[in-house]
Amino acid sequence: MHIQFIDTPKPIGNFANVRFSGKYAYISGQGAFDDGGKLITGKVGKDFSLEEAYDAARRVGVTILSVIKNDIGFEKVHKVVKILGLVNCTEDFLLHPKVINGCSDLFVEYFGEEKGTHARSAMGVYVLPNNIPVEIEAILELV
């Protein structure tokens, strides 16, 4: 798999990108960046189609993988336990799980079925910080 990893994004508030507790790593909600490194913004159902939103969620997955690479190390990951996906969408957009599949599919492709398949929640919200279309956080079990 060819993934273009990025530098760990700087938090936009008073929090850490990743926090460790026992055998777990909790990765804060991350956003998606375009190929030029610019934060992707807009509302799903208005500015983005389902396919474009899926791609944005996949890009959030790349951001999370970059946090893992830069701040944890892939060799320390036992499995992805859970992700929480939030979709900034219009009130009539109801396909939140299909959007978050962009990230879920990436994790299964990257880590494999055993390590990458995870529990998940996917929700639609009225707005997200900086008007990003998708925000996803992750919980990992470490070796």
First to last CA, the chain: 23
Question: Is the entire prediction scored with pTM above 0.75?
Answer: yes
Calpha distance 73→25 (Å, rounded): 11
Calpha distance 106→7 (Å, rounded): 19
Task: Please report which confidence band the pLDDT of residue 1 belongs to, taking 50, 70 and 90 as the band edges.
Answer: confident
CA distances to 12, 48, 49, 50 from 90, rounded to whole Å, are 24, 10, 11, 12
Look up the CATH superfamily of 40-142: RutC-like (3.30.1330.40)
Kindly report, residue by residue over 82-118, the tens digit of the pLDDT.
Answer: 999 999 999 999 999 999 999 999 999 999 999 999 9
Report whether 81 contacts 125 (CB < 8 A). Answer: no
Q: Where are the domains of the chain?
A: 40-142
